[in-house]
Amino acid sequence: MCYSAQIWQSYQRYVRAWGADISITEFVELYWLRAQNPKIKIAKAMDASFADGAGEEHQRIRELVGEFNAAQESKLTQDLFAQRKRLADAERILQTKTTKKAQEDQRIATSKSEWILGKLDALRRPELTDEDSRIFPGWYAPVMVWQDGRRVLRPMRYQCRPVGAPAFYDTKFPGTYNARRDNLEGTFWRKLFGYTHGIMVANAFFENVSRHTMEHRELAAGEKEENVVLEFRPQPTQDMLLACVWSEWRAEGESLLSFAAITDEPPPEVAAAGHDRCVIPIKPENVDAWLRAGPNDLAAMYAILDNRERPYYEHRLAA
């Protein structure tokens, strides 16, 4: 599973590298929706890509980003005040007597205050870091597709809800941010494979693995299984054109653009690190053929997936 990825967030990079157009009205709509629902997740690097663009749409996005950030900062500041009060109250009690509740309040308030301060620092920080380009399941990202005879960049959620599926599939099948290559013609993906293909450009992906599996050993007596996150980067360093399928879901006046990265059996170095799936980076010369998917020649689509780039994936514990 591609639990997380560090991706191109700047639409300008797609424009320069691939001559892609941007569906700017869909990006404006996404940012407007986030203003109504802060649970919608967009990486800071994607916000930043609209900082200098000309035109009313870019200006509107900048306004929406500014309003959202101001609201987030206000909420975080209020939450920080509440946690500091909780901490002060707990420490006041602990000065006179030790109670389990006061100790727990002290621990939780300290931890939450540190987390909030980290969020505030990230929100206020003007420069971008690698972490600002990283997406997780449920987050939105730019995906390149073929539309009206040209490459177009559209904003999509990284968890696919196939056409015709009920909305509750999001919770019933939370792992649908990945589509297995050996199941692309199965019930879940058959309306997308051969019909709606996309490309997400990434330079790293992240996976959850068990520590004992990564260390090639059995669990010790009494040892609990521990999860660690590994970062995989292709060597030599390169941008990976990750094969995806996507859906434009509509029902009862609602709509959702969403996608999934296609995964396959891992190369030896990924398997040796303890993970059993890997993304599929296709070759640049196959991009247009992949995006112009046709259901009458699925063999050609499989051939593109098989004729993939095969870098060596170096891994390390993620920060």
Residue 280, classified by CB atoms within 10 Å of its CB into exposed (0-12), middle (13-18) or buried (19+), is buried
- What pLDDT does 11 receive? 87
For 68, residues 6+ apart whose C-beta sits below 8 A from its C-beta are: 31, 34, 35, 38
- CB atoms < 10 A from the CB of 137, how many? 18
Which residue range is the domain that position 224 belongs to? 4-24+130-317
The answer, yes or no, to whether residue 119 has pLDDT greater than 60, is: yes
Asked if the structure places residue 14 within a domain, the reply is yes
**150-173 average pLDDT score:** 95
The distance of Cα 237 from the centroid of its chain, to the nearest Å, equals: 20
Q: What is the pLDDT of residues 61-92, one digit of tens each?
A: 999 999 999 999 999 999 999 999 999 999 99
Residue 268, classified by CB atoms within 10 Å of its CB into exposed (0-12), middle (13-18) or buried (19+), is exposed
**13-18 average pLDDT score:** 91
- What pLDDT does 4 receive? 85
- What pLDDT does 117 receive? 97
Spatial distance between the Cα atoms of 202 and 237, rounded to a whole number of angstroms: 11
Return the SS3 of 17.
helix
Query: Using an 8 Å Cβ cutoff, are 86 and 102 in contact?
Result: no
- What pLDDT does 9 receive? 87
The answer, yes or no, to whether residue 3 has pLDDT greater than 80, is: no
Tell me the CATH number at 281: 3.90.1680.10
Asked if the structure places residue 294 within a domain, the reply is yes
The answer, yes or no, to whether residue 8 has pLDDT greater than 90, is: no
* Eight-class DSSP state of 102: H
Q: What is the pLDDT of residues 214-256, one digit of tens each?
A: 888 898 888 899 999 999 999 999 999 999 999 999 987 889 9
Spatial distance between the Cα atoms of 284 and 277, rounded to a whole number of angstroms: 22
The overall average pLDDT reported for the chain is 94
Helix ranges, the chain (H): 11-18, 24-36, 44-48, 56-94, 100-124, 169-172, 211-214, 268-272, 287-291, 298-306
Asked if the structure places residue 156 within a domain, the reply is yes
pLDDT category, 52, cuts 50, 70, 90? confident
Residue of 67, 70, 55, 65 whose CA lies nearest to 30: 65
What's the Cα-to-Cα distance from 261 to each of 22, 177, 185, rounded to whole Å? 21, 6, 15
Asked if the structure places residue 112 within a domain, the reply is no
pLDDT category, 1, cuts 50, 70, 90? low
According to DSSP, the residues that pair with 201 across neighbouring strands are 241
Asked if the structure places residue 266 within a domain, the reply is yes
Spatial distance between the Cα atoms of 80 and 117, rounded to a whole number of angstroms: 8
**36-62 average pLDDT score:** 93
Asked if the structure places residue 67 within a domain, the reply is no
Asked if the structure places residue 68 within a domain, the reply is no
- What pLDDT does 252 receive? 78
Asked if the structure places residue 30 within a domain, the reply is no
**134-160 average pLDDT score:** 96
Q: What is the pLDDT of residues 247-282, one digit of tens each?
A: 999 987 889 999 999 999 999 999 999 999 999 999
Cα angle for residues 9, 20, 55 (degrees, 5° grid): 75
State how many domains the chain has.
1
